[in-house]
């Protein structure tokens, strides 16, 4: 018997939504979630009863439970509490974010604090369970995508999230590269250069790739890890909140529930304006004062006004594209196709900007929501099954080096270097009889070390005492195919060596990751449906169908003298049972089934009598 190939999934872990895919019979396929949808919202919530909600269920209760609902956690991945970028993002978050023990970030949900990788792991666990339901067997291997412009800390945080979710992350792959893989899969094409314009919910990437005979080589990449659909939403939020503040003296952005309602309304209006010229925004009872009573918010937003409000964001995208093309020494006219990836690229103004930069229509050959996950699934199949003869050569998005005397940054590996790669540089001591050297590893483009991202520090000890400049220290950098950095330093004369893999900056220690993974595994075991729940689920679904079929006759009976009250009670009982089923509350669902069976019997009897009268 031929052994079946090992299961591997590709995951697009997005800011707003996430998608999971696989390759079946040589065809990349999106795996629907257990509710039947191809996209899962990247939203996690802790309900008041302590239940963990993920995806659409979490999103649905976000307004009434704003403080315990986490959205856009990807923007917090791998960030330091002390970073300027984080302080810009925090005021927009409807939940509470606090400082962690390693200058990292923790999210307060009720009594418990979670790190961003733990929250992301909850989304990944949900996608893993969807895949296991799809295959009917356990899944442990995955390729997970991240923005090309993510730095080392953010990549490590993504990998940690995978570990906590019980996944063996065989590769971290850049999102634009992944989309290009999906685009090029199964196509016979001549040599060409393609550009990938990837504007998602929270991040923007732009990459130029050279494609020839199954080799996908990234030539240059750039981006902005704090530019995405959320920022377009924030412009609408401010546009709604400022006049309300002027008129009523209340800043809706300071109240967590009001802010969540504004977020939902802004996103909905923005999406609708991709098809319409104007939309009405109505938010009744958004606030209240003792003096005036309830306050409502009403506004009309036009596409033209939205484009004016967000023009600066569009220009930030344009500047990144121009910079990357300059670095790759490419003229826009020389590019083959331009691929649009990420939901925000549906905005007509973005498409106009792309047409203007490249002088052509963007390609419609990839689904902007699904291409990244499909490419990750293809990469997984390539790594594990060698299904397609394709080779992927990616680049490092940032320069890497160390801090040297005077506070300067000495580059050792330049940005846009193909990975995996290794490079070294020999430094000398700066003081007489110096026996210790501190190696400070940084990532970025600024010539001053302090302006770049600190990745980690370690000490090279035991140097021989000698006049300054007489001891040589060889610093060696290695970058894996995942883009993960490891650094070692060698005393050339004595052979003494120290090294680090730069992982501490993801914010979690190995012990914390193991503990979180164990906790997540325990939760998953609790999610496995017991036979009794399966029986109740089947019976509840039968009752839902029976009520649905009976409803037209019930309406007729109500008109014939039964009245609306029994129907209203039945609708309420059905709603409660549906919620209990969704939240897997087995005992409570058993009680609801008994109630619904009694109601069904009584209503059927009433129908016979009601129809008899007619």
Average pLDDT over residues 434-443: 84
Mark whether 500 and 570 lie in a shared domain.
no
User: Among residues 311, 331, 354, which one ends one of the domains?
Assistant: 311
Q: What is the pLDDT of residue 240?
A: 97
Residue 607 lies in a domain: yes
Give the confidence band of 531 by pLDDT, cuts at 50, 70, 90.
low
Which stretch, 280-284, 400-404, 451-455, 536-540, has highest mean pLDDT?
A: 280-284
**Is 50 exceeded by the pLDDT of residue 423?**
yes
Using the 8-state DSSP alphabet, how is residue 141 labeled? E
**Is 90 exceeded by the pLDDT of residue 489?**
no
**Is 60 exceeded by the pLDDT of residue 504?**
no
Mark whether 100 and 203 lie in a shared domain.
yes
Q: Is 12 a catalytic residue?
A: yes
Strands 453-460 and 69-70: unpaired
Average pLDDT over residues 244-273: 93
Residue 519 lies in a domain: no
User: What value does the mean pLDDT of the chain take?
Assistant: 88
**Is 90 exceeded by the pLDDT of residue 168?**
yes
Residue 521 lies in a domain: no
Domain of 184, CATH number, reads 3.30.420.40
Q: What percent of the chain has pLDDT over 90?
A: 46
Average pLDDT over residues 539-560: 86
Neighbouring C-beta atoms of residue 556, cutoff 10 Å: 14
Residue 518 lies in a domain: no
Number of independent structural domains in the chain: 4
**Is 70 exceeded by the pLDDT of residue 505?**
no
Mark whether 289 and 186 lie in a shared domain.
no
In whole angstroms, give the CA distance from residue 259 to residue 316.
Answer: 26
Of the listed 132, 152, 160, 175, which one is catalytic?
A: 175
User: Among residues 373, 394, 415, which one ends one of the domains?
Assistant: 394
Least confident of 48-57, 268-277, 342-351, 454-463: 454-463
Q: Is 198 a catalytic residue?
A: yes
**Is 60 exceeded by the pLDDT of residue 4?**
no
Compute CA 298 distance to the chain's CA centroid, rounded to the nearest angstrom.
31
Which stretch, 431-440, 499-508, 531-540, has highest mean pLDDT?
A: 431-440
Mark whether 127 and 210 lie in a shared domain.
yes
Mark whether 67 and 134 lie in a shared domain.
yes
Average pLDDT over residues 41-49: 90
Q: What stretches of 186-277 show up as alpha helix (H) in DSSP?
A: 229-248, 256-272
**Is 60 exceeded by the pLDDT of residue 506?**
no
Domain of 237, CATH number, reads 3.90.640.10
Using the 8-state DSSP alphabet, how is residue 583 labeled? T
Of the listed 160, 198, 370, 394, which one is catalytic?
A: 198
Average pLDDT over residues 239-243: 96
Average pLDDT over residues 576-594: 86
Domain boundaries, position 498: 400-506
Mark whether 249 and 267 lie in a shared domain.
yes
Answer with the residue of higher pLDDT: 508 or 55. 55
Q: The tokens 């902005």 sit on which residue?
A: 224
**Is 60 exceeded by the pLDDT of residue 538?**
yes
Q: The tokens 């439970």 sit on which residue?
A: 65
Average pLDDT over residues 13-32: 94
Least confident of 287-296, 482-491, 596-605: 482-491
| Alpha-carbon distance values, 502 to 100, 444, 480 (Å) | 18, 15, 12
Residue 83 lies in a domain: yes
Least confident of 9-18, 106-115, 318-327, 451-460: 451-460
**Is 70 exceeded by the pLDDT of residue 500?**
no
The pTM for the full model equals: 0.80
Residue 466 lies in a domain: yes
Average pLDDT over residues 277-286: 95
Residue 515 lies in a domain: no
- Among 151, 37, 134, smallest CA distance to 377 is for 134
| Alpha-carbon distance values, 38 to 29, 130, 154, 312, 345 (Å) | 10, 10, 26, 32, 19
Mark whether 348 and 482 lie in a shared domain.
no
Residue 410 lies in a domain: yes
**Is 70 exceeded by the pLDDT of residue 364?**
yes
Q: What is the pLDDT of residue 129?
A: 93
Average pLDDT over residues 199-211: 93
Domain of 450, CATH number, reads 2.60.34.10
**Is 90 exceeded by the pLDDT of residue 77?**
yes
Average pLDDT over residues 529-549: 81
**Is 60 exceeded by the pLDDT of residue 614?**
no
In whole angstroms, give the CA distance from residue 88 to residue 106.
Answer: 16
- Among 101, 11, 76, smallest CA distance to 511 is for 101
User: Among residues 258, 286, 311, which one ends one of the domains?
Assistant: 311
Mark whether 215 and 129 lie in a shared domain.
yes
Q: Tell me which H or E stretch contains 538.
A: helix 531-557
Q: Is 175 a catalytic residue?
A: yes
Least confident of 97-101, 398-402, 459-463: 459-463
Mark whether 168 and 81 lie in a shared domain.
yes
Mark whether 346 and 455 lie in a shared domain.
no
Of the listed 12, 152, 219, 369, which one is catalytic?
A: 12
| Alpha-carbon distance values, 126 to 103, 113, 156, 303 (Å) | 29, 20, 20, 36
Mark whether 335 and 211 lie in a shared domain.
yes
Mark whether 500 and 601 lie in a shared domain.
no
Q: What is the pLDDT of residue 114?
A: 95
- Among 122, 155, 167, 118, smallest CA distance to 515 is for 118
pLDDT digits over 111-153, tens only? Answer: 899 999 999 999 999 999 999 999 999 999 999 999 998 988 8
Q: What percent of the chain has pLDDT over 70?
A: 95
């Amino acid at each position: 018997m031929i052994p079946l190939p090992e299961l591997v999934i590709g995951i697009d872990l997005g800011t707003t939504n996430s998608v999971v895919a696989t390759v079946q019979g040589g065809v990349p396929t999106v795996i629907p979630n257990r509710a039947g949808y191809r996209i899962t919202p990247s939203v996690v919530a802790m309900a008041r009863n302590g239940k963990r909600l993920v995806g659409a269920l979490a999103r649905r209760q976000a307004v009434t439970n704003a403080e315990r609902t986490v959205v856009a956690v990807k923007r917090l991945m791998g960030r330091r509490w002390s970073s300027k970028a984080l302080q810009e993002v925090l005021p927009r978050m409807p939940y509470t974010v606090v400082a962690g023990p390693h200058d990292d970030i923790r999210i307060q949900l009720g009594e418990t604090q979670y790190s961003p990788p733990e929250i992301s792991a909850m989304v990944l666990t949900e996608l893993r369970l969807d895949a296991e339901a799809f295959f009917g067997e356990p899944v442990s291997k995955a390729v997970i995508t991240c923005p090309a412009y993510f730095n080392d800390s953010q990549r490590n945080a993504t990998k940690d999230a995978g570990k906590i979710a019980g996944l063996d992350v065989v590769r971290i792959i850049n999102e634009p590269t992944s989309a290009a893989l999906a685009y090029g899969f199964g196509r016979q094409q001549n040599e060409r250069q393609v550009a990938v314009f990837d504007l998602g919910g929270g991040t923007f990437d732009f990459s130029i790739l050279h494609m020839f005979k199954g080799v996908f080589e990234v030539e240059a990449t750039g981006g902005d890890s704090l530019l995405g659909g959320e920022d377009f939403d924030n412009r609408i939020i401010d546009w709604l909140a400022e006049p309300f503040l002027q008129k009523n003296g209340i800043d809706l952005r300071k109240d967590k529930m009001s802010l969540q309602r504004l977020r939902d309304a802004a996103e909905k209006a923005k999406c609708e304006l991709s098809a319409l010229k104007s939309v009405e925004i109505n938010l009744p009872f958004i606030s209240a004062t003792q003096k005036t009573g309830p306050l409502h918010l009403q506004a009309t937003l036009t596409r033209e006004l939205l484009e004016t409000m967000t023009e600066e964001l569009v220009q930030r995208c344009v500047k990144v594209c121009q910079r990357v093309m300059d670095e790759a020494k490419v003229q826009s006219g020389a590019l083959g196709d331009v691929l649009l990836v990420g939901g925000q690229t549906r905005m007509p103004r973005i498409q106009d900007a792309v047409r203007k930069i490249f002088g052509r229509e963007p390609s419609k050959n990839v689904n902007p929501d699904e291409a990244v996950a499909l490419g990750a699934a293809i990469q997984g199949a390539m790594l594990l099954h060698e299904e397609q003869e394709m080779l992927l050569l990616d680049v490092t998005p940032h320069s890497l080096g160390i801090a040297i005397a005077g506070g300067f940054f000495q580059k050792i590996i330049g940005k846009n270097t193909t990975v995996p790669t290794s490079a070294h540089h020999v430094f000398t001591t700066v003081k007489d009889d110096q026996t210790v050297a501190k190696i400070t590893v940084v990532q970025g483009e600024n010539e001053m070390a302090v302006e770049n991202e600190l990745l980690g520090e370690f000490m090279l000890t035991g140097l021989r005492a000698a006049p300054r400049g007489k001891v040589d220290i060889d610093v060696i950098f290695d970058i894996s195919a995942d883009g993960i950095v490891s650094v070692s330093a060698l005393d050339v004369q004595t052979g003494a060596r120290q090294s680090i893999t730069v992982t501490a900056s993801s914010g979690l220690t190995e012990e914390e990751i193991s503990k979180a993974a164990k906790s997540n595994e325990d939760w998953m075991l609790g999610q496995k449906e017991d036979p009794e729940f399966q029986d109740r689920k089947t019976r509840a679904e039968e009752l839902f169908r029976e009520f649905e079929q009976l409803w037209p006759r019930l309406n007729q009976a109500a008109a014939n003298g039964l009245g609306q009250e029994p129907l209203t009670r039945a609708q309420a009982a059905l709603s409660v049972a549906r919620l209990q089923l969704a939240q897997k509350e087995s005992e409570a669902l058993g009680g609801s089934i008994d109630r619904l069976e009694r109601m069904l019997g009584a209503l059927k009897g009433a129908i016979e009598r009601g129809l008899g009268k007619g």
